[in-house]
Amino acid sequence: WLCGCYTTITSSHYTLAFELEGSSCNSSLLIRVRVLIMTGKVAVVTGSNKGIGLATVKSLCSKFDGSVYLTARDVGRGLEAVEKLKKEGLNPLFHQLDIDDQKSIDDFAAHIKKEHGGLDILINNAAVLFMPGAPEPLELQVVETLKTNYYALKNVCNALFPLLRPHARVVTLSSIAGHLERMVPGEELRKKFADPDLTEEKLDQLMQDFVRDVKDGSYKEKGWPTVPYTAYAVSKVAASALTRIQHQRFLKDPREDIVINHVHPGYVDTDLVGHQGPLTTDQGAVAPVYAALLPANCKSPRGDFIWHTKEIVDWVNGPCPSAW
Dump pLDDT digits (tens) for 122-137.
Answer: 999 999 999 999 999 9
Is the predicted pLDDT of residue 35 greater than 80, yes or no?
A: no
- CB-based burial, 229-256: b 16+ in 10 Å, e otherwise: bbbbbbbbbbbbbbbbbbbeebeeeeee
181-203 average pLDDT score = 98
252-263 average pLDDT score = 98
* CATH 3.40.50.720 residue spans of the chain: 40-313
Closest by CA position to 46, among listed 125, 155, 162, 150 = 125
Question: pLDDT at position 24, please?
Answer: 44
193 Cβ contact list (under 8 Å, min separation 6):
180, 184, 206, 237, 241
Q: How confident is the model at residue 39 (pLDDT cuts 50, 70, 90)?
A: low
158-187 average pLDDT score = 98
Set 219, 232, 267, 290: catalytic member: 232
| Catalytic-residue membership of 267 | no
Widest CA span of the chain, in angstroms? 75
Q: Identify the sign of the CA torsion 113, 116, 121, 123.
A: negative
* Cβ–Cβ under 8 Å, residues 121 and 168: yes
222-229 average pLDDT score = 96
Q: How confident is the model at residue 111 (pLDDT cuts 50, 70, 90)?
A: very high
Question: pLDDT at position 10, please?
Answer: 47
CATH class of 40-313: alpha beta
Residue type, 315: W
Is the predicted pLDDT of residue 118 greater than 70, yes or no?
A: yes
Any idea which of 8-22, 71-85, 223-237, 288-302 has the lowest mean pLDDT? Answer: 8-22
d(CA 43, CA 71): 11
